[in-house]
C-alpha cells in the first residue's frame, strides 16, 4: 500500500517547514541548514489493520495493569505475612513481599509500556522544526500553542480510540488503590492506649538502675532517681513501648518549698514523681538542678519547675510535666495511687 492509498484521516499532519528547509549558505549564515529528513510513514499510518493491532496491544497492556493491581490487593489480603517462597536464584524470601513486588511492578510496567507503545505506533511521529524566537510569547504564539495542543489531542486519538481511552482511565484509576491498601501497614488505630500507662493503684516504684523497689529513705533531698513500674522488665516484648510512657523522675523537695498545692497532696513527705518524658517532642529528661528544682530537657532546652507542679519556665514545651500521685504501701515501699491523670509525652492532649 502506498501513501497515495492511505485514507486522509490516517495520515499525520505535516507542516510546511518540517522537511527540506534547506537554506543556502551566505556570508551571514556560513552553514547550510540541511533540514529534516523526509518523513516515513509507519505501518500503522497506512494500514488500519495494523493500527487496530496496536490499539489492541495497548489496551491489553492497560488491562494487564488493572489485573496486576487487583492481584496486588488480593495478595495483600490473602497471603500470610510469615509465608515464605523459594525464588531462584535468590532463595527463600517472604511470599507476601514477593507477590506485592511482582504485582506492583507489573502494574506500573504495563501502564508505562502501554503508553510508550501507544506513542510509538499510534500518535503522530511527524518531526517538527520550530524557529528560535523571543522568549516572551506573543499572542500569535499563544494561539499557535493552543492550536498545537488541540491538534495533539486530536492526533492522540483519545476521542476516536475509545478502547484505549477507557482501559487507560481504568488502569490509572485503579492503580492508586495499591497505595491505599498500604495505609493498613500504619497499624491499628491507637484508641485510648496513649492515654494510659502501666501505672496502676499499688504498683511499686522500682529504681531503674538497680531494679530494686524504692523506699522513702532511698530518695534523699538533692538526688534524682529514675523509676519504672514493678514487673516491667527489659526482656519483656513490649518493654520499649511501655517505658516510653512509664518512665518517672523521683526527687525529694522540702515540703515547705513545694509551691503547688496539688503537687504537695500527690507527694509523699516531699517525694514527688513526675513523668520523665518531655512534653515538647518526647525526649527523656535527665538534667536536674538541685538548688532550683528545675529539670532541663537536653533536646531543646525546655525547663520545668518540679517545685511548682512541673510548670514550663523556659523552652518550646507547651505543657507542664504530668505528675504521678504516690504513697507508701503497707510493706514500706513507694507505690502509685493510680495511673497518670493525663496523657504523658508530647502535647498529646492538643491532638484530641
Ligand atoms: S523534646 Fe524536650 S525540649 Fe524538645
- Spatial strand order of the sheet with 294-296 comes to 287-289, 294-296, 303-305, 311-314
Q: Which domain holds residue 58?
A: 3-186
> Is residue 66 domain-shared with residue 171, that is, in the same domain?
yes
For the full predicted model, state whether its pTM sits above 0.75.
no
> Is residue 160 domain-shared with residue 240, that is, in the same domain?
no
Pocket around ligand 1 at a 6 A CB cut-off: 278, 280-281, 283, 297, 299-300, 302, 315-317
> Is residue 166 domain-shared with residue 204, that is, in the same domain?
no
- The CATH number of whichever domain residue 270 belongs to comes to 2.102.10.10
Indicate the number of domains in the chain. 2
> Is residue 327 domain-shared with residue 199, that is, in the same domain?
yes
> Is residue 148 domain-shared with residue 23, that is, in the same domain?
yes
Nearest to 345 by CA among 265, 263, 283: 283
Give the dihedral sign, CA 120/126/132/136: negative
The closest-lying atom of ligand 1 relative to the alpha carbon of residue 317 is 3
> Is residue 57 domain-shared with residue 161, that is, in the same domain?
yes
Pick out the chain residues at pLDDT < 50. Answer: 1-4, 17-20, 352
Do 243 and 236 contact (CB within 8 A), yes or no? no
> Is residue 103 domain-shared with residue 238, that is, in the same domain?
no
DSSP conformation class of 84: E
- pLDDT confidence of residue 4: 46
> Is residue 132 domain-shared with residue 41, that is, in the same domain?
yes
- pLDDT confidence of residue 129: 77
Task: Name the residue of 280, 298, 313, 318 to mutate for ligand 1: max ligand atoms within 8 A of Cβ.
Answer: 280
> Is residue 84 domain-shared with residue 219, that is, in the same domain?
no
Do 318 and 310 contact (CB within 8 A), yes or no? no
The reply to whether omega before 89 is within 30° of 0 (cis) is yes
The residue from 186, 216, 247 where one domain ends is: 186
> Is residue 251 domain-shared with residue 307, that is, in the same domain?
yes
The residue from 159, 186, 213 where one domain ends is: 186
Beta-carbon contacts of residue 190 (< 8 Å; ≥ 6 apart): none
The closest-lying atom of ligand 1 relative to the alpha carbon of residue 297 is 2
The residue from 186, 204, 229 where one domain ends is: 186
Q: Whose alpha carbon is nearest atom 4 of ligand 1?
A: 300
- pLDDT confidence of residue 82: 84
Helix, strand, coil distribution of the chain in percent, nearest 5: 40, 15, 45
CB atoms under 10 Å from CB of 165, counted, come to: 16
> Is residue 146 domain-shared with residue 225, that is, in the same domain?
no
The closest-lying atom of ligand 1 relative to the alpha carbon of residue 281 is 1
- pLDDT confidence of residue 19: 47
> Is residue 160 domain-shared with residue 199, that is, in the same domain?
no
| Cα–chain center distance at 152 | 36
What tens digit of pLDDT does each residue of 312-323 get? 999 999 899 999
Amino acid at each position: 500500500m502506498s501513501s497515495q492509498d492511505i485514507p486522509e484521516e490516517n495520515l499525520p499532519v505535516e507542516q510546511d517547514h518540517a522537511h527540506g528547509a534547506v537554506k543556502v549558505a551566505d556570508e551571514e549564515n556560513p552553514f547550510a541548514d540541511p533540514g529534516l529528513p523526509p518523513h516515513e510513514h509507519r505501518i500503522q499510518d497506512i494500514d488500519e489493520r495494523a493500527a487496530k493491532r496496536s490499539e489492541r496491544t495497548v489496551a491489553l497492556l492497560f488491562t494487564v495493569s488493572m489485573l496486576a493491581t487487583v492481584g496486588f490487593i488480593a495478595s495483600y489480603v490473602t497471603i500470610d505475612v510469615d509465608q515464605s517462597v523459594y525464588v531462584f536464584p535468590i532463595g527463600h524470601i517472604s511470599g507476601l513481599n514477593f507477590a506485592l513486588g511482582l504485582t506492583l511492578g507489573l502494574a506500573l510496567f504495563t501502564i508505562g509500556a502501554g503508553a510508550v507503545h501507544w506513542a510509538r505506533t499510534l500518535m503522530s511521529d511527524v518531526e517538527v522544526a520550530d524557529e528560535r524566537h523571543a522568549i516572551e510569547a506573543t499572542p500569535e504564539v499563544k494561539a499557535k500553542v493552543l492550536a498545537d495542543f488541540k491538534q495533539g489531542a486530536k492526533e492522540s486519538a483519545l476521542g476516536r480510540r475509545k478502547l484505549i481511552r477507557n482501559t487507560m482511565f481504568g488502569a490509572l484509576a485503579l492503580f492508586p488503590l495499591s497505595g491505599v491498601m498500604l495505609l493498613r501497614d500504619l497499624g491499628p488505630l491507637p484508641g485510648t492506649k496513649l492515654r494510659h500507662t502501666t501505672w496502676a493503684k499499688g504498683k511499686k516504684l522500682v529504681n531503674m538502675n538497680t531494679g530494686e523497689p524504692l523506699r522513702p529513705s532511698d530518695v534523699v533531698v538533692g538526688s534524682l532517681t529514675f523509676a519504672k513500674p514493678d514487673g516491667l522488665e527489659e526482656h519483656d516484648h513490649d518493654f520499649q513501648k511501655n517505658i516510653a510512657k512509664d518512665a518517672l523522675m523521683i526527687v525529694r523537695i522540702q515540703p515547705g518549698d513545694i509551691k503547688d498545692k496539688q503537687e504537695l497532696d500527690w507527694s509523699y513527705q516531699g517525694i514527688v514523681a513526675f513523668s520523665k518524658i518531655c512534653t515538647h517532642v518526647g525526649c527523656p529528661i535527665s538534667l536536674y538542678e538541685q538548688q532550683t528544682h528545675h529539670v532541663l530537657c537536653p533536646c531543646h532546652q525546655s525547663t520545668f519547675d518540679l517545685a511548682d507542679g512541673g510548670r514550663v519556665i523556659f523552652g518550646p514545651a507547651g505543657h507542664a510535666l504530668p505528675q504521678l500521685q504516690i504513697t507508701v504501701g503497707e510493706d514500706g515501699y513507694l507505690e502509685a495511687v493510680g495511673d497518670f491523670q493525663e496523657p504523658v509525652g508530647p502535647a498529646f492532649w492538643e491532638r484530641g
